[in-house]
């Protein structure tokens, strides 16, 4: 491998070799979708969810849109990250003193990361409009609700998997109170996961059609020998509405507000029926990865058509090579 993942081996991660006829840097799992329609009695769709390795398997926080139409956060477990058992009851939070916290009005598009033996969940939370909710746990039994990270309106809060120069670091996409026909990626820092500042602009949509409307951070960035590998979603506006594709970029290690390289082409775009047909058609929305530092393999978990969950595969070498050979020249 030319580029290496900085992290732990994960020999039990899901994986399929690249098909011989595939010319793209990312290829789909042939068993997609891994979570289909009506996975819970209370919900008809689960999508845009996050997971990570935990003990001898995998654990995840899932967006489940209940039959009243409201999105909620549910816990799920798996031995292989493909077959999932989801809890029917939504996650219940406590406050810093251990008392039941006031139930969140809605929660969607979570991310999940481990930092210094603590697991942090970030999601789009209601606080006079959408903003970034934060909670922590050490055992996935007690979930402590923390302060919202930002003022409204904001979405797609994504924490880096370690402190950088002594600070927690988060990517986000400031928004409006609706469907947000705009959006750039910003970076913020915090010494204590409560007070956030030193905000920096990272990326704008640019002049490439597939991401000309807005962009937003996707999974937790992957640390590599070449920089932070950030997979993101890019959105275009068509006569039939938004189309969500995936892109990838490299960010500087010690100052990830600075972009080293960014691809001009998407790495995955809606093509399969489960991506083009659903509650919101034409969406591939990445929220999580698992990766094996020994082999460089990466599995990308993404929401498809705001209806189900799917997996795609790549390697760190293939993705970084694609970024460097298809650079964004402007935007």
Instruction: For residue range 122-137, list pLDDT tens digits in order.
Output: 999 999 999 999 999 9
Contacts of 239 (CB under 8 A, 6+ apart): none
Place of tokens 């909670």: 135
In three-state form (DSSP H/G/I as H, E/B as E, the rest C), the secondary structure along 50-71 is EEEEECCEEEEEEEEEECCCCE
Contact in structure between 290 and 53 (CB atoms under 8 Å): yes
State the Cα angle at 32 between 76 and 171, rounded to 5°. Answer: 60
pLDDT of residue 330: 39
Q: Which CATH number does the domain 29-325 belong to among 2.120.10.30, 2.115.10.20, 2.40.50.100, 3.40.710.10?
A: 2.115.10.20
d(CA 150, CA 194): 9
- The pLDDT-based confidence of 1 (bands split at 50, 70, 90) is low
At residue 327, does pLDDT exceed 80?
no
User: Whole-prediction pTM value?
Assistant: 0.97
d(CA 299, CA 174): 27
Q: Where are the domains of the chain?
A: 29-325
State the Cα angle at 57 between 51 and 62, rounded to 5°. Answer: 25
At residue 152, does pLDDT exceed 80?
yes
- The pLDDT-based confidence of 172 (bands split at 50, 70, 90) is very high
Residue pLDDT, tens place only, 49-60: 999 999 999 999
At residue 67, does pLDDT exceed 90?
yes
pLDDT of residue 329: 46
d(CA 331, CA 261): 12
- The pLDDT-based confidence of 80 (bands split at 50, 70, 90) is very high
Q: Determine the average pLDDT of the residues in 211-231.
A: 98
């Amino acid at each position: 491998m030319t580029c290496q993942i900085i992290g732990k081996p994960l020999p039990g991660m899901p994986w399929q070799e690249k098909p011989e006829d595939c010319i793209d840097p990312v290829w789909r799992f042939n068993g997609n979708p891994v979570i289909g329609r009506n996975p819970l009695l209370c919900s008809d769709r689960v999508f845009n969810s996050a997971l990570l390795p935990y003990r001898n398997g995998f654990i995840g926080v899932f967006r489940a849109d209940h039959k009243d139409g409201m999105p909620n956060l549910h816990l799920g477990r798996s031995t292989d990250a493909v077959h999932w058992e989801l809890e029917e009851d939504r996650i219940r939070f406590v406050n810093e003193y251990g008392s039941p916290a006031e139930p969140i009005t809605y929660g969607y598009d979570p991310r999940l990361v481990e930092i210094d033996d603590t697991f942090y969940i970030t999601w789009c939370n209601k606080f006079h409009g959408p903003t970034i909710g934060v909670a922590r746990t050490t055992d996935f039994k007690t979930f402590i609700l923390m302060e919202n990270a930002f003022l409204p309106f904001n979405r797609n809060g994504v924490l880096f998997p370690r402190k950088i120069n002594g600070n927690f670091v988060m990517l986000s996409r400031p928004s409006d109170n609706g469907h947000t026909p705009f959006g750039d990626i910003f970076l913020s820092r915090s010494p204590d996961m409560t007070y956030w500042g030193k905000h920096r602009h990272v990326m704008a949509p640019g002049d490439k059609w597939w991401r000309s409307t807005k962009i937003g951070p996707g999974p937790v960035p992957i640390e590599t020998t070449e920089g932070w590998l950030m997979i993101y979603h890019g959105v275009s506006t068509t006569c039939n509405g938004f189309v969500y594709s995936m892109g990838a970029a490299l960010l500087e290690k010690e100052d990830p507000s600075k972009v080293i390289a960014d691809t001009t082409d998407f790495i995955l775009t809606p093509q399969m029926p489960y991506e083009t047909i659903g509650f919101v058609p034409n969406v591939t929305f990445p929220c999580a990865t698992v990766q094996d530092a020994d082999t460089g393999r990466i599995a990308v978990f993404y929401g498809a058509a705001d209806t189900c969950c799917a997996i795609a595969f790549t390697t760190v070498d293939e993705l970084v090579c694609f970024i460097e050979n298809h650079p964004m020249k402007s935007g």
